[in-house]
Amino acid sequence: MVANNNITKIFLVLNSGSSSEKFSLYEGEDEVCSLYFEGVEIDGKKKFICTITRADGSEEQVDKTWDTLDGAFKEAKSIFEREGFINEAHPLDGILVRTPAAGTYFSQHHIVDDETFVELEKAKLTYPLHVPGAIRGVKNAIDAFPGVLVMTMSDSEALTRDSRRDALYALPKEVIEEFDLGRWGAHGSSYGYVMGRVKELGLLEKKMVICHLGSGCSVTAFVDGEPAYTSMGETPLEGLMSSTRTGSIDPTVGALLGEKLGAAEAIKLLNKQSGLLAMAGSSDMREIIAGAEEGREDAAVAYNMFIDGVAGKIGEFAAKMGGIDAIVFTATIGERSIPVRSSVIGKLEFMGFKIKNDAKLDKSKGYANVAEEGSKPIYVIPTNEAAYMIKKAAELVDAQ
């Protein structure tokens, strides 16, 4: 396979869900078009529809439906070619399949080969909700785009460093080796991108904590720009409560649920039916905040538990590092929710942090310091996970 040597590489980034496919086409770090295939019910039958989103933000629904997601790939290729994004003069340099999976193999990015499929099958044990979609994505990408490099993009690569001080579990060595267990962490593409921005912007401090708060939430501590501690573990379930995940829970509860429901259903319950959704009936932080302001006790309890979790994890990392010099907020909630940032920092004023509640993101700078005068820095830095994956994919292509 020969890679395109254009200065600006063209990559197709694929996010495969259990009942959806999203194709995002990039020229360099610029998204030029995306296609979202999702399942809907039409005349009592499950069908899949496609929405096109262009660079200017305009949307168009394709006047066609599909019975399965497998057809999405060839349709996506046809649409991108029809729109003029892919042709002989502008061929794809590679297809990036985001692959949430644990283990040594998936702690790195890979160009797909026979070993990849062997490792994906193994990974289904701990990631039964995500890995089947990744397998489908990889297979269909190879079939629909013959000759194009297909790459599995790790969700933990940026966290897999010798600097990590919390990568082990206190389990018998033979158990760890048999199941290839470790606290791999997740949101690695986000942390890799944001820490890169921290360094580019000249904002690096010795001891920093980055809070990735979105539909999934995690916190990672960095010493001299390298990861030291992270909140997620073998899977993203460990650590903070989030939109639909429990966060850390007594392992006995998981074992009991597994015995009663079966492992796959127990994992689904803990990941998809818990968290804010279970506590307050919504997975949307904006609705949780509105409910709390309206006096709904369930929303207030959920909000306060969420805030305590984030602030508590930051405090834990401060104790482990012997202090914190700066805090960064990123991802949807971290970037957009002034109430969440204010509530979290309000619990950390004893550490020398105080926030300006009316601070706005300066788009010309691409970040904001929302700290009050005299406070340690508190930054809001938008993340761009695709940009990080594209950078790493370009390195793989160049090496190939």
27: which residues sit within 8 A by CB, 6+ positions away? 8, 9, 10
- Among the ranges given (69-73, 272-276, 329-333, 337-341), the one the predictor scored with the smallest mean pLDDT: 69-73
| pTM strictly above 0.75 | yes
Inter-residue contact 222 to 159 (CB < 8 Å):
no
The domain 204-385 is placed in CATH, from the list 1.10.3720.10, 3.40.50.2300, 3.30.420.40, 3.10.180.10, at 3.30.420.40
Q: Which residue has the higher pLDDT, 318 or 83?
A: 318
Using only the alpha carbons of the chain, give its radius of gyration: 21
**Beta-ladder partners of 204:** none
State how far Cα 4 lies from the chain centre: 28
Fold match between domain 10-154 and domain 204-385: yes
pLDDT of residue 361: 67
User: How far is it, in rounded angstroms, from Cα 326 to Cα 206?
Assistant: 9
Q: Please name which of 193, 188, 118, 182 lies closest in space to residue 153, comparing C-alpha atoms.
A: 188
- Among the ranges given (40-49, 141-150, 267-276, 319-328), the one the predictor scored with the smallest mean pLDDT: 40-49
pLDDT of residue 133: 87
Asked if pLDDT for residue 65 goes beyond 60, the answer is yes
Inter-residue contact 42 to 65 (CB < 8 Å):
yes
Q: Is 155 a catalytic residue?
A: yes
Q: Which of 155, 166, 224, 398 is catalytic?
A: 155
Confidence of residue 7 (pLDDT cuts 50, 70, 90): low
Asked if pLDDT for residue 378 goes beyond 60, the answer is yes
Which CATH fold would you assign to the domain 10-154? Nucleotidyltransferase; domain 5 (3.30.420)
- Of the chain, the end-to-end C-alpha distance in Å amounts to 9
User: How far is it, in rounded angstroms, from Cα 178 to Cα 213?
Assistant: 33
Q: How do the domains of the chain map onto residue ranges?
A: 10-154, 204-385
Q: What rounded mean pLDDT belongs to the chain?
A: 93
Q: For 201-259, write each residue's pLDDT tens digit.
A: 999 999 999 999 999 999 999 999 999 999 999 999 999 999 999 999 999 999 999 99
In the numeric block, which tokens belong to residue 132?
């089947």
pLDDT of residue 3: 44
Q: For 164-181, write each residue's pLDDT tens digit.
A: 999 999 999 999 999 999
